[in-house]
Structure 1
C-alpha cells in the first residue's frame, strides 16, 4: 500500500530568494546528512524556463528492523529535477531515491509559487515498499512516513537559514560559505 505525506508552507521571502536558496541549500547546519550535491545538467528551454538535474548523496540512520536487509549501507543517491518558470514565478521540483528501491521507493514533488510578497510551497511525498518479506513492508512505509514529517521541519529551517544569510550578508558572503568557510 502506498503511503502519502502532504504539507504546505509559506516563506516570508520573495520567489527569487526562495528559488536561489533551493539551489544553494547545501551545506547548511540543518542538513548534516547531505554529503554531496552535484549538478549534472542545467539548461534554459525555448520558453525561458530553467531545467536542472542534480545528484544528492545523503546519509541516514536506518531502523533496526531494516538493517539485516541492507547490511552496513547507510548512504543513498537521490536524483532531483527542477523547472523554474521566472515569468510565472513558479518552480516545480521532483526527487526520488536511486538506490534501495526494492525496499523503499520515495518520490517527492514540490511546487513553489509567488504569493504576494512571499512564496508558498506545496509538497507531496509517496512511499512504496516492494519488500514482501516477513511483514516488514508496512513497518518500512510507516517509519518512512513518520520520519519524513520530522525531516520536513529541518528542511524548512535549512532553507530559512540560507535565505536569511542571503538577505543579511549578501551573495558574496554566501558564496564563501558555499566554498566551505564558516557559517558565521
Structure 2
C-alpha cells in the first residue's frame, strides 16, 4: 500500500523568479535537514502539451510554455520508507505574475509490521516539509531582491523569549518598587 498526497501552492513571484530561486533553495533555514540536492538527470524540452512527462530522477523544463517539472526522492532512511515527489511549476492561470506548483507525493514502506504506521508518519512529515519549502522560497525571494529575509521560526522564538525575559524583569522591578513604597507607608 502507498500513501498519496496531491496539493497545489501559489508563489506570488513570476515563473522566471521561481525558476532562478529553485536552484538556490538549499541551504534553507526552515529545512535544515536537507543540505543539498543532487541532480541525476536534467533536460530542456520543447513541449506544447499541458503536462510534462517526468523521467524518474529527472528534471524537465519547457522554456516556451514556462513549465518546469521535477521528480525527487529521499536517499536517507530509504530502507524504512521512500518518499517520492513530483512537482510541476507553471505560470498561474489567474495571475501571470505568479507561479503555481502542483505537487504529488507517494510514501511507501515495505517494512513488515509497521509499514502502515511509517507511511502515515511519512505523509505527515512530507506535509510539514511542504510548508518549510514554501517558507524557504519566500526567504530566497527576499534575498534575491536585496531585502532582509523573513525571520525563521527559531529566530522568532528567540526574540519572543528575550521580550518575555525583559517583561518579567520589568514586572519584578515594579513589584519591588511597589513593595518598598508600601513598606515605607506602613512605617510613617
Task: Report the TM range for the smaller structure's normalisation.
Answer: 0.5 to 0.7
Whole-Å separation in 1 of the counterparts to 2:3 and 2:43: 34
Q: How big is each residue's C-alpha offset from its partner over 1:33-91, in whole Å with a ceiling of 9 and x where there is no partner?
A: 1223445665556x49xxxxxxxxxxxxxxxxxxxxxxxxxxxxxx9531111110011
2:99 is matched with 119
Q: Which of 52, 55, 71 is the equivalent residue of 1:94?
A: 71
SS of residue paired to 2:86:
strand
Structure 2 counterparts to residues 37-52 of structure 1, below 5 A: 37-39=37-39, 42=42, 44=44, 47=46
> Are 1:145 and 2:126 an aligned pair?
no
Largest Rg, 1 or 2: 2
Determine which structure has the larger helix proportion and give its number: 2
Runs of 4+ in 1 over 3 A off after TM superposition: 36-45, 98-102
2:178 corresponds to which residue?
none
What is residue 136 of structure 2 aligned with on the other side?
Answer: 158
Taking structure 1 as the reference length, the TM-score comes to: 0.66
Tell me whether 1:108 sits opposite 2:88 in the alignment: no
Quote the Cα distance in structure 1 between the aligned partners of 2:124 and 2:89: 23
Relative to 1, partners in 2 of residues 1:80 and 1:20: Cα closer, same or farther, differing over 3 Å?
Answer: farther
Q: Equivalent residue of 1:148, what SS?
A: helix
State the TM-score, normalizing by the size of structure 2: 0.65
Which structure 2 residue ranges, 5 or more long, are not aligned?
A: 48-55, 148-188
Aligned equivalents of 2:36, 2:124: Cα separation in 1: 25
* Residue number among 146, 163, 168 corresponding to 1:169 in the alignment: 146
1:10 correspondence with 2:4: no
Aligned-pair Cα RMSD in Å: 2.3
Q: Structure 1 pair 153/108, CA: closer, same or farther in 2 (3 Å)? A: same
1:99-132 residue CA offsets vs partner (Å, 9 max, x unmatched): 5434212110011111211101110100111111
SS of the residue aligned with 1:35? coil
Aligned length in residues: 136
